[in-house]
Amino acid sequence: MTFQTACLTDDLAPEEAMLVELDGVDGAPVPVAVVRDADGDYHAISDICSHGQVSLSDGEVEGCLVECWLHGSQFDVRTGQPVQLPAIRPVPVYPVKVDEGKVLIDIDEQPTGGT
């Protein structure tokens, strides 16, 4: 596993999301939504909605759900699974760890969730 620093823990309040671009295996940037849920836990999912191809980090976070701002699809940030139509395909979820005030994400690991 190759973890990359995505942001600092202080960059997000509970129920906030932000876009980060991490270095992919081929060197191309990978857009990732870093989400802090209502309990204060950090999650990383693909920033691209599986339905509308827009940024999920621009959507609202409530509990463990992030809502796509374009059509209202909601995704569980823990699993990537859609819980509200119109999205029916999950989004990829990446491993996250927090170390010394940094949020670290591994995008090299095969993501769970959708593709």
Tens of pLDDT along 50-80?
998 899 999 999 999 999 999 999 999 999 9
Q: Which residues pair with 103 in a beta bridge?
A: 7, 98
Q: What is the pLDDT of residue 10?
A: 97
The pLDDT confidence band at residue 42, using thresholds 50, 70 and 90, is very high
Residue 11 burial by CB count (10 A; 0-12/13-18/19+): exposed, middle or buried?
Answer: middle
Beta-carbon neighbour count of residue 38 at 10 Å? 12
Total residues found in the chain within this entry: 115
For the segment 76-89, the average pLDDT, to the nearest whole number, is: 96
Range 53-63 burial, b when 16+ CB lie within 10 A, else e: ebbbbbbebee
Q: What band does 109 get if pLDDT is binned at 50, 70 and 90? A: low
Q: What is the pTM of this model?
A: 0.91
Q: In this structure, are residues 68 and 76 in contact, taking their beta carbons and an 8 Å threshold?
A: no
In the predicted model, what is the mean pLDDT of residues 8-16?
A: 98
pLDDT averaged over every residue in the chain: 93
So what's the pLDDT on residue 23? Answer: 92
